[in-house]
Structure 1
Amino acid sequence: MSKRKKLLIAVFLIYIFIVLWLTLIDRQWGERRAMLMPFWEMRELITTDRKLYWSQQIGCNILMLMPMGFLLPCLHQKFRKLGSIFLIALIFSAAIEITQYFTGRGLCEFDDVFNNTLGACIGFIMWKKLSH
């Protein structure tokens, strides 16, 4: 295995640890909460005075999985299709949200899964543009 590949694997593992730290590990156990109404954050952004807060919530969820969409195709050829990235990001994000629900370590949200998956797809598109 080349040094470049080893470095990419190390960066990816550190990245995954950071995502898990932010979404699960560094949170306190609490009560189970869920908001499964689609796009409620977008409605809050449009209808409330807390535009900066909701922009940050939505934007950070998009940004959080962009590196996944960019790094996975660098690691292996089987991740060089948008459908693969979409499915992996969807499953990964849904797993985080389900874990947050059962552990009470966050609000389980449809919007987070949508925005995270969108971010991974954007990361993949960036990789595609830069790699060709």
Structure 2
Amino acid sequence: MAIIKFMWCEIIKQILADMRQPLQYVPWALVIVVLGLVVTIVLSEKKDGKKASVRFFRILFAIYILVVIQITFFSREPGSRNGCMNLDLFSTWGYSVVTHAFFIENILMTVPFGILAPLCFHRLRPMWKCVVLGGVCSVLTELSQYVTKRGYCEVDDMLTNTIGVLCGCILLWLIELIIKQRRKK
């Protein structure tokens, strides 16, 4: 039991260390979000703020997509991954703390997609539509990494990214359920 606890502590430490690079974008993202919020309030067509909130979530979603593109493509040199493809399911889980962390990070990376996409686009409200779109985006990302040789094309990444989208959708559903329950009281 102590070994498992130690391993999870090490995995969490590794995930936090790996998150340092994407967190560098937070100050710029905050500036853009504040500017976007001001613009959405000024341009809002409705007084109830519903239109402004959709615009705000779309700005957040755009920032999220830009950060994902930066992480998955532009943080690597072209040709640095030699166009490898790995079609073995669960092979990236590996045997080390680092490989376990990468596996979990692929899930965490797409949770915001599952939250923001349905908030931005009403057609993605049915959970299955959002998860399918997230899966398609993951497949396209992996194939693009293979073609550009800026990453490994791995079936595990496609699966974990899609699971992350599903987790985001479930989290959004739970948040909305809690909000509805509190409004009833």
TM-score, L = length of structure 2: 0.65
Matching of residues 32-71 of structure 1 within 5 Å: 32-42=83-93, 44=94, 48=95, 50=96, 52-71=97-116
Residue by residue over 1:20-50, the C-alpha shift from the partner in whole angstroms, topping out at 9 and shown as x without a partner, is: 11001221111211111111123x2xxx3x1
**Which of the pair has more CA radius of gyration?**
2
Q: Secondary structure at the match of 2:153?
A: strand
Deviations 1:99-125 (A, max 9, x none): 000111011100000000000000000
CA distance in structure 2 between the partners assigned to 1:106 and 1:81 by the alignment = 31
106-115 vs 21-30, greater mean Cα deviation: 21-30
Task: Classify the secondary structure of the residue corresponding to 2:76.
Answer: coil
The amino acid of 2:86's aligned partner reads M
Residue 126 of structure 1: how far off its partner (Å): 0.4
Quote the sequence identity (%).
28
Shift of 1:74: 1.1
User: How far does residue 3 in structure 1 lie from its aligned partner after superposition?
Assistant: 2.0
Q: How does 1:25-104 map to 2 (within 5 A)?
A: 25-30=74-79, 31-42=82-93, 44=94, 48=95, 50=96, 52-104=97-149
Are the aligned partners of 2:118 and 2:125 in contact in 1 as well (CA < 8 Å)? yes
Q: Residue 4 of structure 1: CA displacement?
A: 1.5
Would the aligned equivalents of 2:55 and 2:120 in 1 still touch at CA under 8 Å? no
What residue in structure 1 maps to residue 55 of structure 2? 6
Q: Deviations over 1:59-94 (max 9, x none)?
A: 110001100001111112211112111211111111
Compute the RMSD of aligned alpha carbons: 1.1
- Report if the CA contact (8 A) 2:109-2:161 is conserved: yes
Report the count of equivalent residues. 126
Runs of 4 or more, structure 1, over 6 Å off, are: none
1:6, distance to aligned residue in structure 2 (A): 1.5
Distance 1:73 1:3 in 2: 15
Q: Distance in 1 between matches of 2:54 and 2:123?
A: 15
Q: Which moved more, 1:82-91 or 1:115-124?
A: 82-91
- Structure 2: any 5+ residue segments left out of the alignment? 1-43, 45-50, 178-185
